[in-house]
Amino acid sequence: MKKLTKILAVILVLALLSPSVAAAAVDTVQPLSSAYLASYSVYLIISGTTVRSHFRVTGMSVLEEIGAKEIILQESPDGVTWTDVATFSYTDPAYASLMIASGKQVFNSNVPYEDGIEGYYYRAYVTIWGGDGTNGDARYAYTTVKQI
Amino acid sequence: MQEAKIKEAVCQQNFSKLETAQLEELLRMDYEDIAPLDSETISAITTVLAERHKDVGKIKPADEAFAIFKKYYLPTSTKTVEMEELEPTLSSAAQSAGKPPLVQKTNPWRFVRNCAAIIALIFAFTAVIPTAFGLDNVFTILGKWTDSIFSFMKENIPDSETKNDLNDLASVVNAVCDTTAVVPTWLPDGFTLYTIESYGDEACSSVFATFIKEEQRISFQYTTLYDDQTISYEKDSSCVSIYTTNSQPFYIMNNDDSVFCTWASGNIECHIFGDIAPDDIFKIIDSIYTN
């Protein structure tokens, strides 16, 4: 009887503690709302051996900076093990205008990679960005996998 | 001979010597104003009749009793007595006689039927019939008045400029997404089209438009998806509300303290967001299917 009482007491304590633990955990998770970003999507379009990493970003309003800060293209022979084959950055003058726009609320763009291998799989890891020049929000997203 | 006997009984207020049929005939003639009786006489006659009925001492089965009632009493009444009113009386009488209560034939669905009929009538007179005759839905018409004038205002009808701009949006959406059934016909007064642009590639085609009113803006984005890409919508941790109209679920949520709505119509993803009052989002949604 004593043992049963002890077990019940432990269960009761755990039950009382669990919501507190859960609430504490929730407090550490930041809400994902954004004052800058409304929606975004990323995807690949393949044409021949050219792999284009596309992104579309929509701001809550007209933004000073809107687009993608970085795109890492990855390839895989089997769809399991992945290797970075190209990194595109908005700091690179060759891609700056393709990746970040100014004074826009919606921005569609893409960057090309022309050395794709037939039969290989590709995906891109994109850093979405929306900001006012000083502050902003970044989001990270993978494209779906495409095969050449 | 019979008449003399009846007159004598009436004069003497002694009705026990008359037959039941004669007493009932006296009451009938009184009821039809052929030979009106005073209240004392009627009371005396009914007392005698009651005594005689008591002598019978048996309550007839409900069907038989009702047949008697229909034969002798119903034709002379104005038929305002309904079966439902009669049956509880019969039932209580049966109970007092120690018999099991009669089964009442009241229909439990009658109340529901009546309510449904009333609602249908209200709906028909306020929504269907006015629309059928080319008038606006009554629910959209509200009155406004001052000390000196009264006029009807149509709250759900946007001003002409907003309406024209919504038509422009519908034209572009139709050209890009091949439908206008996703474009609202109502926006809060004063919003005008500020920008509209379209985009297309192998994976998707989209229309983006923004309406503005002073510092406020409401944006629309329609994206037709041709592959398996996913659009992510920014939201806070509050719950997603689902508002269904015309069998189409609309997902309403918040981002950065502003309400927005998204839904999918086939392979078209739709997104309305911006400075929208919580009540207005429902009006916007409701107007989508009034094209």
Q: What is the pLDDT of residues B224-255, one digit of tens each?
A: 988 888 889 998 888 889 998 888 899 999 89
> Please, what is the average pLDDT of chain A?
85
Q: What pTM was computed for the model?
A: 0.58
Q: What is the pLDDT of residue B153?
A: 52
Whether chain A has a CB inside 8 Å of the CB on B229: the answer is yes
Q: What is the pLDDT of residues B87-132, one digit of tens each?
A: 555 555 555 555 555 445 556 677 777 877 787 777 666 655 555 5
> Residues of chain B with pLDDT > 90: what percent?
12
Nearest residue to A115 (alpha-carbon basis) of A48, A50, A47: A50
Residue in A42, A54, A106 nearest the CB of B201: A54
CA distance B199 to chain A (A): 8
- Chain A residue with the nearest C-alpha to that of B254: A33
Classify B274 in phi/psi space as left (phi over 0), alpha (psi -120 to 50) or beta: left
Q: What is the pLDDT of residue B143?
A: 54
Q: Does residue B56 or residue A36 have the better pLDDT? A: A36
**What are the structure tokens assigned to A78, written together?**
């089997």
Q: What is the pLDDT of residues B17-54, one digit of tens each?
A: 888 888 888 888 888 888 888 888 888 888 888 887 76
Residues on chain A touching B261 (C-beta within 8 angstroms): none
- Chain B residue with the nearest C-alpha to that of A140: B232
ipTM score of the complex?
0.77
Over residues A4-11, the mean pLDDT reads: 65
* CA distances for A70 relative to A88, A102, A110, A147, B11, angstroms: 6, 16, 11, 22, 118
Whether chain B has a CB inside 8 Å of the CB on A108: the answer is yes
Sign of CA dihedral B39, B42, B44, B47: negative
Supply the DSSP symbol for B71: I
**What are the structure tokens assigned to B208, written together?**
């983006």
CA distance B183 to chain A (A): 19
**How far is it between the farthest Cα atoms of chain A?**
77
Whether chain B has a CB inside 8 Å of the CB on A41: the answer is yes
> Please, what is the average pLDDT of chain B?
77
Instruction: Reply yes or no on whether the pLDDT at A64 is more than 70.
Output: yes
Q: What is the pLDDT of residues A129-139, one digit of tens each?
A: 999 988 999 99
